[in-house]
Structure 1
């Protein structure tokens, strides 16, 4: 609150030069001596502002440190549906992005290039979200070797639909129409193999955001699978045999189709 108009002006508000500082360094014990009282108002404001900024920075650093130290104390546990789904799907998406980048870069077909770009951009963004959640929860970004789909009750060394090293070599060696057909076949099978995991995540993940992500994957990849099937037919080719789902008999416990 501002002082009344007729109130005396305080020492700190005077425009006169400050009194000389006692060079003896003796503390007179009062409120009128020492360097602080002798400092002009603007200098006090600078010092106070600097201290306030320092406190803010200390709070920010402390908050970051606290967040890191407590990150592992919340979120789904290792081996949970949420963590297992995110870990497996991160790996699954990684190969899809790899194939999409190759096709987008090497195809001469505008439709194939657009499809590859859509898959690349969508799944790259989803990988970023999944890795972010796993990191926040203090979890590894991929499951232990041989433990894919363990969260669905049957650990396996390889997820359904994944392209083999020979498949990837065939994709890289192909050109022209053959490249387009091989890409569409491998990506369609890849989508089909990941569908049971996405359905299980959409049905049983405990974190609403994870369920929503899995549901969006089911919707987008089902639509893309229909598009790829049509594109293969237009190019006089047929899909590869659909991958075998090792958890076919367990869909009831996950709510999948």
Structure 2
């Protein structure tokens, strides 16, 4: 009888020990200790590798594209904002509104790339605050401070013609920059944006030339 009780007691103790071990194992997984720490470090390693892949999948051309296209877009938006109060044509106002709505999000996207790459994000817009900035002359289609001043003082049909003429040149410059990115860039998202810019702005160039009576 004593022997039987002893066996039962040992079995009970054994069951308790196994249950305790299972509880400890579960706790270890929950708080990141024990076996859980292995999976945690694996996740961190995966995230680090992903960040490295993103940072490493670009080249100098991608950086130049984003750093140049941001102020280029900023100037187009500034020109477009003028149209709301200075243009006389409803078509010009509508076009300007579409340009602003399309290019503002693209600025945010390119700024995000530069930040993730650890590169400088342009904060000023050549042609307005810094018309003599050396960077403005390096970007095709950029208006200088004198051009922007003339546009700011124009109104009515005079503004319409000036805006369309300048914006055609501005868009042609953006298409040129985007074409270079498609040819020489490495970052997939930047090359895709460049392709979108070429498609959208070539269509707007055609639209503006029609408004100017050139086609």
Of the three residues 91, 107, 117, the one matched with 2:97 is 117
**Alpha carbons 2:77, 2:103 under 8 Å: kept:** yes
- Map residues 147-186 of structure 1 onto 2, 5 A cutoff: 148=135, 157-186=137-166
| Residue of structure 2 in register with 1:88 after alignment | 68
Q: Aligned pairs, how many?
A: 163
Q: Contact 2:140–2:176 (CA<8 Å) still a contact in 1?
A: no
**Alignment of structure 1 residues 96-245 onto 2, 5 Å:** 96-142=76-122, 146=134, 148=135, 157-233=137-213
Give the SS at the match of 2:76: helix
Residue by residue over 1:115-144, the C-alpha shift from the partner in whole angstroms, topping out at 9 and shown as x without a partner, is: 00010110111111000111111111139x
Q: Which has the larger radius of gyration?
A: 1
SS state of the match for residue 74, structure 1?
helix
Q: Secondary structure at the match of 2:118?
A: coil
Where structure 1 has 5 or more consecutive residues not aligned to the other structure, the ranges are 1-51, 53-58, 149-155, 240-257
Task: Please state which structure has a larger fraction of its residues in helix.
Answer: 2
Offset, 1:226: 0.5
Inter-partner Cα distance in structure 2 for 1:90 and 1:105: 24
Partners of 1:76 and 1:94 in 2: CA distance: 26
Q: Is the 8 Å Cα contact of residues 88 and 155 (structure 2) preserved in structure 1?
A: no
Mean Cα displacement is larger for which, 179-188 or 101-110?
101-110
**Alpha-carbon distance in 1 for matches of 2:55, 2:193:** 20
RMSD: 3.0
Measured against aligned partners, the alpha-carbon deviations of 1:158-201 in whole angstroms (never above 9, x if no partner) come to 32211111111111111110011110011111111222210011
Q: Distance between the aligned counterparts of 2:157 and 2:204, measured in 1? A: 19
Higher RCO (CA-CA < 8 Å; seq separation 6+)? 2
CA distance in 1, matches of 2:56, 2:75: 27
Deviation at 1:76, TM superposition (A): 5.3
Which stretch of structure 1 is more off in the superposition, 192-201 or 208-217? 192-201
Aligned residues of 1:76 and 1:137 also touching (Cα < 8 A): no
* TM-score when normalising by structure 2: 0.67
Give the TM-score taking structure 1 as reference length.
0.56
Are 2:181 and 2:194, in contact at CA under 8 Å, matched by a contact in 1?
yes
When structure 1 is superposed on structure 2, of 111-120 and 163-172 the one drifting more is 163-172
- Where has structure 1 moved over 2 Å in runs of 4 or more? 73-77
CA distance in 2, matches of 1:216, 1:95: 19
- Stretches of structure 2 that go unaligned for 5 or more consecutive residues are 1-30, 32-39, 124-132
Match of 2:12 in 1: none
